[in-house]
Amino acid sequence: MPGQHTESPGARAAAPSTPSAPQVTGEPMTGAQSLVRSLESVGVETVFGIPGGAILPLYDPLMDSEKIRHILVRHEQGAGHAAEGYAQATGRIGVCMATSGPGATNLVTAIADAYMDSVPIVAITGQVSSKVIGTDAFQESDIVGITMPITKHNMLVTDPAEIPRAVAEAFHIAGTGRPGPVLVDVSKDALQAQTTFSWPPKLDLPGYRAVTRPHNKQIREAARLLTTAERPVLYVGGGVIKAGASAELLRLAELTGAPVVPTLMALGALPDSHPQNLGMPGMHGTVAAVTALQKADLLISLAARFDDRVTGNLDSFAPHAKVVHADIDPAEIGKNRAADVPIVGDAKEVIAELLLAVEAEHAAGRQADLSAWWTQLDGWRQAYPLGHTPAPEGEVSPQDVLARISAISGPESIYVAGVGQHQMWAAQFIDYENPRTWINSGGLGTMGYAVPAAMGAKAGSPDSVVWAIDGDGCFQMTNQELATCVINQIPIKVAVINNSSLGMVRQWQNLFYNGRFSNTDLHTSVGSRIPDFVKLAEAYGCVGLRCESPDDVDATIKKAMEINDVPVVIDFVVHRDAMVWPMVPAGVSNDLIQIARDTAPDFEREN
């Protein structure tokens, strides 16, 4: 089936090896035909896009391709997020297309999102003819210049002979080293001109050398610290999933006995059910995870970047800890927190080497006793488990909705979240047992991400149940992609957590602005239904359901699970003032974590 992936879950996103592609030389064709042939040669099966004037020459030969499935989206931002969802779910490189000018600029948000979260996508844009570039021609924009800060690499191609090389380089760069977005902008006259197709092209990238194998000396020092530390923590980032290193992480955790703290982007890297998993750290992390980082004497950071949402006030973050920082991107090491032991390398190779070094330390009789540390950690877990305040009588609890979706749909499903309260509740109350089953916009925090990204994930993993967990604000930004899902038979399930508000902003207004709810009321369920999400879903050809009673939550989810031929949209009308806890207010120390309003953990009592 077009779009079906063959990689095992957690496989490193990588471009197909160009030397293994068929050797083709000297075949005459247009630049557009050359571009289609190049995409086929790197193994592209699915492309999300919208045609327009500058890229129209490409769409004609694309129609003849028997290898590439083009999915016509309703907005270019949807194409970009769909490519991200496809990449995150499958481990392959996502591809999106747009025309020049506004078509290309509509991709910018998705490209920036992919850049922040290290998602391998290739964006192909049409450009006005080379002779009028720089004249403010109709639908001209300097998309290469615009996206320079938010792409791993980008290029403008005006010579049709350069198209195969540009495509091969784009896929190589996007999928190797630290993954990320690459943009290829092709002028209209290059697409129309005659050329000769030659494959594979020679890759000549003298400035690009991704280091994957770590230095042995640094690995040995990290192992020494890990086997002598009394309060170690394995601080795990999303790069572990991208590297396909979940199995190695499990072995390292069990070999060392150290607690594991997976970030928002790393949920599923270690099963939530594993006893050494303390849960997510950061602004809305568990008390045990946040406090473990603060009290640790050693942080082994694996493909994480010390993001401000994790560290809180950086000066007070993990004040007693030495830091081993392993990352494939040397620019991340020491960027926010100085590393005592810097390790540049691919997470899978780093952990594999670290396993050998730790085993050697154990063989030499060096292994720390972590029983006192675990007594402390378990005390925090027992005293401050993840929970929530029940909703008022007769109202639906958003946390309960997500917990029930998790229980009924199961850990093999893929969950794709938008941004806001519903995203945090999805991170907290859905159980993630496998890598690549949790997809969300982490670094950029892009509202409108869920529906198109879920569409891309389902296109790439058609045999998986795919849920878009969305808010009533996020959903209204990109729900037009439901039409794309219906027409292309991509039956996602959408849970709209409808509190009639921009929920996270309302929470901050409640906590920090004296309850002055300025411009956060969306009128989607309180006092009116503008729009009515059930009617909207039905207008798009989907099944629309509504749940307004806690007694109906399970039955509504089960009904959605029974429908697998068209998308399903569920309007869960939930308690409006439910809040996300725990919470570390922005910019303060993680020591000031709160478990409810004006309520902090009593660590002295626990001790």
Q: Which residues contact 289 (CB under 8 A, 6 or more apart)?
A: 261, 278, 279, 280, 281
- DSSP sequence for 44-57: --EEEE---TTTHH
- Amino acid letter, residue 399: Q
User: Is 188 a known active-site residue?
Assistant: yes
User: Is 559 a known active-site residue?
Assistant: no
User: Is 218 a known active-site residue?
Assistant: no
Catalytically annotated residue among 280, 504, 579, 583? 504
- Strand stretches in 315-411, DSSP E: 322-327, 341-344
The CA distance from 157 to 183, in Å, is 11
Residue 46, sorted as left (phi over 0), alpha (psi -120 to 50) or beta, turns out to be beta
Element (H, E) at 414: strand 414-417
Write 587-592 long-range contacts (CB < 8 A, 24+). 587/312, 587/313, 588/312, 588/313, 589/312, 589/313, 589/316, 589/317, 590/290, 590/291, 590/293, 590/294, 590/311, 590/312, 590/313, 590/316, 590/317, 591/294, 591/316, 592/312
Strand, coil or helix: 25? strand
User: Is 197 a known active-site residue?
Assistant: no
The CA distance from 93 to 12, in Å, is 10
The CA distance from 175 to 191, in Å, is 25
How many Å is the maximal CA-CA distance in the chain?
Answer: 79
Residue (of 602, 590, 607) closest to 235 by Cα position: 590
Q: Give yes or no for a cis peptide into 51 (omega within 30° of 0).
A: no
- Amino acid letter, residue 573: V
Strands 194-199 and 24-30: antiparallel
Catalytically annotated residue among 4, 131, 138, 538? 138
Contact call for residues 97 and 127 (beta carbons, < 8 A): no
User: Is 76 a known active-site residue?
Assistant: yes
- Amino acid letter, residue 214: P
Catalytically annotated residue among 7, 40, 139, 155? 139
Reduce the secondary structure of 169-181 to three states and give it as a string.
HHHHHHHCCCCCC
- Amino acid letter, residue 205: L
The two tokens of residue 76 are 């270019």
The CA distance from 58 to 420, in Å, is 38
Find residue 327's DSSP bridge partners: 344
Strand, coil or helix: 447? coil
Alpha helical stretches, state H, 463-564: 472-478, 481-487, 503-512, 533-539, 553-562
Catalytically annotated residue among 45, 76, 162, 361? 76
The CA distance from 472 to 546, in Å, is 13
Contact call for residues 80 and 150 (beta carbons, < 8 A): no
The CA distance from 84 to 94, in Å, is 6
CB-neighbour burial class of residue 194 (10 A; exposed 0-12, middle 13-18, buried 19+): exposed
Active site residues: 76, 138-139, 188, 504
